[in-house]
Amino acid sequence: MNKKNKLVDRNTLDRKSKSNKTIHEVGIKTKFYVNKDKDIFVNVKILGSHNRSGELNLPATTLMYWYPFYFYYDWGFREHSNRWVLKVSETAPEVQRPYLYKSLFLTDCVNINTYETKDNKIHRDNLALMKTLEELSDGTFSTLLSSHIDSYAIRYNYEFIASTIASIKQNCKDRYDMAYVEHFEDKDFEKISTMETARDRLLYENYATDKELSLLIKMGAASRITYVLSKLYGEI
């Protein structure tokens, strides 16, 4: 377990979940569309710090090379040079930390004029992620590498993600309950019956194993993958 059975009472969960409001930084905005040649493209917009924006249109076939499915990095916009640069969150896993101090530009991933793709960190991470998801699901989870994708496959993806997260949440709840039994021997102690997102996060931080935390990160990325698939194979 990533924490040594740190006991968190219900009042603490309530108090912290109300005070720790997450502020989401605005990243890229994407819109899928079909061009005049019947090819699927992605319109990508980003807002800079002084309300100056960047905008690109890239073929959907290039997504694997520049679209970050992991939530701990995203694209930023350097207004003075009109360049897109990868931003890595300070809360990213240790293996990603070197990219806090390196500059990976969008043009290192795809030529925005010819659409020629180049192997890069995002591409390698996406490939590894999709291979892992296929292994975790015994080959039933659909990704951008899958040969056949339909509405059923997309629906199954969401069910797989929900089931995986529910299993981890139940494990954390069981450890939370057991901690109170061990510390207070009070079998009548009121257990958590409903958990909001912030309270879930606190349970995960204190009662999830490192393996489970890693799996939660992958489920977040899996949600992004499935969302993209729904756009590519649904009605655009």
DSSP string, 120-159: -HHHHHHHHHHHHHHHHTTT-S--TT-S---HHHHHHHHH
Predicted confidence at residue 186, as pLDDT, reads: 45
Whether residue 191 is found in the same domain as residue 220? yes
Average pLDDT along the chain? 81
Please state the rounded mean pLDDT for residues 184-213: 65
CA 169 to chain centre: 17
Q: Look at the chain and report how many structural domains it folds into.
A: 2
* 33 pLDDT higher than 90: yes
Q: Given a cut of 80, is residue 199 above it in pLDDT? A: no
Low-confidence winner among 8-12, 46-50, 118-122 (lowest mean pLDDT): 8-12
Say whether both 90 and 164 belong to one domain.
Answer: no
Kindly indicate the confidence band of residue 26, based on its pLDDT and cuts at 50, 70 and 90.
very low
Within a domain: 3: no
Same domain, 125 and 53: yes
Percent of the chain at pLDDT > 70 equals: 77
| Assigned domain for 2 exists | no
pLDDT (average), residues 149-165? 95
Shared domain for 155 and 122, answered yes or no, is: no
pLDDT band at 178 (very low <50, low <70, confident <90, very high): confident
- For residue 140, being part of any structural domain is answered with no
Q: Tell me if 143 is assigned to some domain.
A: no
Q: How confident is the model at residue 3, as a pLDDT?
A: 44
- Residue 155: band (very low, low, confident or very high) from pLDDT cuts 50, 70, 90: very high
Report the side by side order of strands in the sheet with 29-34. 29-34, 40-47, 53-59
Domain residues for the domain of 49 are 29-129
pLDDT at residue number 22: 28
Give the pLDDT score at 5: 40
Residue 162: pLDDT band (50, 70, 90) is very high
What's the pLDDT at 187? 40
Note whether 124 and 194 are same-domain residues: no
pLDDT-derived band at 1 (thresholds 50, 70, 90) equals very low
| pLDDT confidence of residue 103 | 84
- 99, 129, 159 — which closes off a domain? 129
Q: Of 76, 96, 129, which closes a domain?
A: 129
Same domain? For 163 and 197 the reply is: yes
Same domain (yes/no): 35, 88: yes
CA angle 29, 216, 206 (to 5 degrees): 120
pLDDT at 9: 45
**pLDDT reported for residue 102:** 76
38 in a domain, yes or no?
A: yes
Tokens describing residue 152: 């059923």
| 15 plus 44 within the same structural domain | no
139: region left, alpha or beta (phi > 0 left; psi from -120 to 50 alpha):
left
Shared domain for 198 and 110, answered yes or no, is no
